[in-house]
């Protein structure tokens, strides 16, 4: 029996049950007559009733967690799109007015063009890695490459000339760059997850408690039983923790330097262990 998978499934069930149980409790407080009638049903036994309530709590809680996840993701994407639009507007204004200077912002660093990073990715992906094409620095380098290729015997000459053609093609280089950027994005999705399973569980648990606390705070104005300081204070704490966690994830996801460091460490660790994946992206 794989205890790790069993624990993960139980933990996922628990995280869905936490906010769902609050929803069930709030519903019971608002409709005590329905709650009382449910327990008086003679056609179902006690264990069946408990199972029904647990099932309702799990489904409801999972829906709450999914909604909050989508909400946080939507807000993060909206902020990113808003900032991108503001930068685009600033660039258009600076380009349209005479003598105007461009916004003093550092250009985005394309870390997927780093030569050492590409070598690590190629060692990790194996045959699935894109071809590492580097543009020519100038016309002199292009002419020198042509001269060397023309002096080679076949089939080396044909192979080198084909490589030179690919390196000298703007469309081909753009497509190759997009492939490496795709590798960067997929590795970001892998390295963004906490490597420590305990830390990942802790963050998920904080999110579950945050969702349950948010439900309690929203229901408190219409539920007198929840308007107790010893209930509201922990709820405010967990909502703030959930907000801080979401802000931290958003900030780290926008820090290209941090993402590069995470991928660097991930690749070095896995390549050093001799691990390799041949899956094509």
pLDDT number for residue 13: 85
pTM above 0.85, yes or no: no
Q: What values do phi and psi take at 153, rounded to 5? A: -75, 160
pLDDT number for residue 112: 85
pLDDT number for residue 109: 65
pLDDT number for residue 110: 78
Residues 227-277 have pLDDT tens digits of 999 999 999 999 999 888 777 766 665 666 777 777 777 787 777 766 655
pLDDT number for residue 172: 87
pLDDT of residue 281 exceeding 50, the answer is no
Give the Cα separation of 185 and 191 in Å (integer): 10
pLDDT number for residue 81: 67
pLDDT number for residue 124: 85
Q: What is the mean pLDDT of residues 192-197?
A: 60
Confidence of residue 219 (pLDDT cuts 50, 70, 90): very high
Residues 134-152 have pLDDT tens digits of 888 888 989 998 989 888 8
Q: What is the 3-state secondary structure (H, E, C) of 31-84?
A: CHHHHHHHHCCCCCCHHHHHHHHHHHHHHHHHHHHHHHHHHHHHHHHHHHHHHH
Q: Residue holding tokens 């690749």?
A: 267
Name the residue among 69, 63, 51, 62 with its Cα closest to residue 16. Answer: 62
Residues 81-129 have pLDDT tens digits of 676 677 667 766 765 443 333 333 444 567 888 888 888 888 888 888 8
Q: Could you tell me which residue, 273 or 216, shows the higher pLDDT? A: 216
Name the residue among 261, 260, 245 with its Cα closest to residue 76. Answer: 245
Mean pLDDT estimate for the chain: 81
Q: What is the mean pLDDT of residues 47-51?
A: 93
Q: Could you tell me which residue, 245 or 192, shows the higher pLDDT? A: 245
% the chain with pLDDT above 70: 78
Q: What is the mean pLDDT of residues 185-189?
A: 77
CA atoms within 13 A on the CB side of 32: 3
Q: Could you tell me which residue, 26 or 7, shows the higher pLDDT? A: 26
pLDDT number for residue 195: 55
Q: What is the mean pLDDT of residues 33-55?
A: 92
Give the Cα separation of 137 and 114 in Å (integer): 15
Name the residue among 165, 70, 128, 125 with its Cα closest to residue 270. Answer: 125
């Amino acid at each position: 029996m794989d205890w790790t998978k069993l624990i993960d499934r139980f933990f996922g069930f628990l995280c869905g049950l936490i906010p769902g149980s609050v929803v069930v409790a709030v519903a019971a407080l608002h409709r005590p007559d329905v709650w009382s009638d449910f327990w008086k049903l003679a056609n179902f036994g006690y264990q069946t009733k408990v199972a029904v309530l647990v099932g309702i709590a799990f489904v409801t809680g999972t829906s709450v967690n999914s909604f909050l996840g989508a909400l946080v993701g939507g807000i993060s994407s909206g902020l990113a799109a808003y900032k991108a639009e503001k930068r685009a507007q600033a660039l258009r204004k600076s380009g349209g007015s005479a003598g105007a200077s461009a916004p003093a912002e550092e250009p985005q660093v394309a870390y997927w063009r780093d030569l050492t990073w590409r070598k690590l990715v190629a060692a990790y992906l194996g045959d699935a890695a894109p071809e590492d094409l580097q543009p020519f620095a100038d016309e002199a380098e292009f002419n020198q490459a042509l001269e060397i290729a023309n002096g080679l015997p076949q089939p080396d000459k044909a192979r080198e000339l084909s490589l030179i053609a690919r390196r000298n093609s703007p469309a081909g280089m753009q497509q190759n760059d997009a492939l490496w950027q795709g590798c960067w994005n997929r590795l970001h999705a892998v390295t963004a997850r906490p490597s420590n399973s305990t830390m990942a569980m802790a963050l998920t648990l904080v999110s579950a408690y945050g969702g349950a606390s948010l439900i309690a705070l929203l229901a408190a104005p219409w539920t007198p039983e929840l308007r107790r300081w010893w209930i509201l204070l922990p709820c405010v704490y967990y909502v703030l923790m959930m907000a801080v966690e979401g802000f931290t994830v958003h900030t780290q996801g926008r820090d290209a330097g941090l993402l590069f460091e995470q991928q660097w460490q991930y690749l070095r660790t896995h390549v050093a262990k001799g691990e390799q994946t041949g899956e094509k992206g």
